[in-house]
Structure 1
Amino acid sequence: MTDLELFAAGREADVFALDGNRVLRRYRTGMDVAREAEVMAYVGGLGFPVPEVYAAAGTDLVMERLDGPTLAQAALTGELSIPDGVAILADLLRRLHDLPPRGGTSGDTIVHLDLHPENVLLTRRGPVVIDWCNAGDGPGDLDTALSALILAQVAIGSIEHPLGTEAGAMVDLFLELAPGDPLRLLDDAAAFRRRQLTMSPDELAMIDAATARVRTAA
């Protein structure tokens, strides 16, 4: 498949347009998509908004093609206010954490572990969450802490993004609206981010500062 149309690209994967209804997400890291597809099918079956998965094999995931801006893009253009955008993000986390875990472990739920404004698409059928490669069973507070930490990384300039300092307002409001206790497992969230292979040395060096930004806001 050398003549595929590149549709989007992230830190770990490229997304190619197959036709008007389907895209192919292909990992550059060699990661197997089986678990990701299983989690997406599970939460989708419970009514949570995810792209439909048509096929999963090796590094390739064939999914529903979604049209619409990311939550971040909509906030940047003014199509969506910062408060409304943060409310959507917090509500998606709350809805996700209301789902039972796949393994039935007491105290756990389904966690995304990378839920931020670039991973929410505003489609005709409403907000849809994408990029489920980190997802599985786990404590909801870890998920909430990671979302806050990623926003804080953008807010302090650790992660370059057009939202820039606007992310600071998002962090503050998110901590008011988000489910659970975002501070309880914040240190675990920082450790999780340090293990991300796609993080640059500069980004890794500023994780403590981003963690402090979350604590200050809370």
Structure 2
Amino acid sequence: MMELLARGRDAQVYALDSHRVLRQFDAPRDLRREVAAMECARAAGLPVPAVHEVTVDGMVLDRVDGPTMFEALAADPSTARQHAATLAELHHRVGAVAAPAELFTDVGEGDALLHLDLHPGNVILGSVPTIIDWTNAARGPADADPAVCWLLLRVVAVDDLGVRPALVETFLEAFLESFDRDALAGQLAAIARLRLVDPNMSPVERDRIRRFVADPW
């Protein structure tokens, strides 16, 4: 039996050996967009696992050992500003990459590569901070990605992840220092439309999204 390394809302990650993992989804899906985004990101020098094989319901990837940024933050709250700066830098690097033509999105005009789920739970602190879970990858305005992070850290029940809400607030404020908040706020309505139809969002989270977008300040 394969060792379960991590479980998300719609996928599990299993160890195949010391170098590779299987990311297996709960249901078959078209993974071409995700693979295209990951290959584009890697070609641009971003820290992203290599894709070795794709199946109807999963993909074989490089194994990256280490805690997620969320786990590291929970283990040592004094690192909040350091990790926030690292995440902001990753956002800027992703937003500077031109997306493949086959990617699309409903979040607005733009040609930047978008992850659209780049929060501390999707960064593994291995030998270098590595971006995982490109399921929502798209093309659009670069400000959309940090806007997603802002929204998610406001509405997701982070205490379920072992991180105190007050600590997340400290992290988020430090993260937002690297961006124009007015520009990010301009992306929230489009981002919210996508998240409100996401089956992985709970009814409570959907209600929080509506309230946050109505008054993000």
Task: Name the TM-score, length of structure 1 as normaliser.
Answer: 0.88
- Counterpart CA distance in 2 for 1:97 and 1:194 is 24
Q: Structure 1: any 5+ residue segments left out of the alignment?
A: none
The equivalent residue for 1:203 is 205
| Preserved contact between residue 25 and residue 60 of structure 1 (Cα < 8 Å) | yes
| Cα distance change, pair 29–8 in 1 and its aligned pair in 2 (3 A) | same
The equivalent residue for 1:141 is 143
Deviation at 1:30, TM superposition (A): 2.1
| Preserved contact between residue 36 and residue 134 of structure 1 (Cα < 8 Å) | yes
The equivalent residue for 1:123 is 126
Deviation at 1:171, TM superposition (A): 2.2
- Structure 2 residue identity aligned to 1:164: R
The equivalent residue for 1:187 is 189
| Preserved contact between residue 110 and residue 139 of structure 2 (Cα < 8 Å) | no
- Counterpart CA distance in 2 for 1:24 and 1:54 is 10
1:161 matched to 2:161? The reply is: yes
- Counterpart CA distance in 2 for 1:18 and 1:179 is 42
Q: Structure 2: any 5+ residue segments left out of the alignment?
A: none
How does 1:11-160 map onto structure 2 within 5 Å?
11-78=9-76, 81-103=79-101, 107-124=110-127, 126-154=128-156, 157=157, 160=160
Deviates more, 1:109-118 or 1:95-104: 95-104
- Structure 2 residue identity aligned to 1:56: V
Could you give the per-residue CA deviations for residues 150-200 of structure 1, whole angstroms, max 9, x where no partner exists? 11114xx47733223111122222221137821111111111111111111
- Counterpart CA distance in 2 for 1:85 and 1:207 is 25
Name the SS of the counterpart of 2:71 in structure 1.
helix
Name the SS of the counterpart of 2:160 in structure 1.
coil
Aligned residues: 210
- Structure 2 residue identity aligned to 1:169: T
- Structure 2 residue identity aligned to 1:186: L
- Counterpart CA distance in 2 for 1:20 and 1:159 is 31
| Cα distance change, pair 8–186 in 1 and its aligned pair in 2 (3 A) | same
Q: Give aligned-pair identity as a percent.
A: 34
Deviates more, 1:28-37 or 1:58-67: 28-37
| Cα distance change, pair 159–189 in 1 and its aligned pair in 2 (3 A) | farther
Task: Name the TM-score, length of structure 2 as normaliser.
Answer: 0.89
- Structure 2 residue identity aligned to 1:11: R
| Preserved contact between residue 82 and residue 170 of structure 1 (Cα < 8 Å) | yes
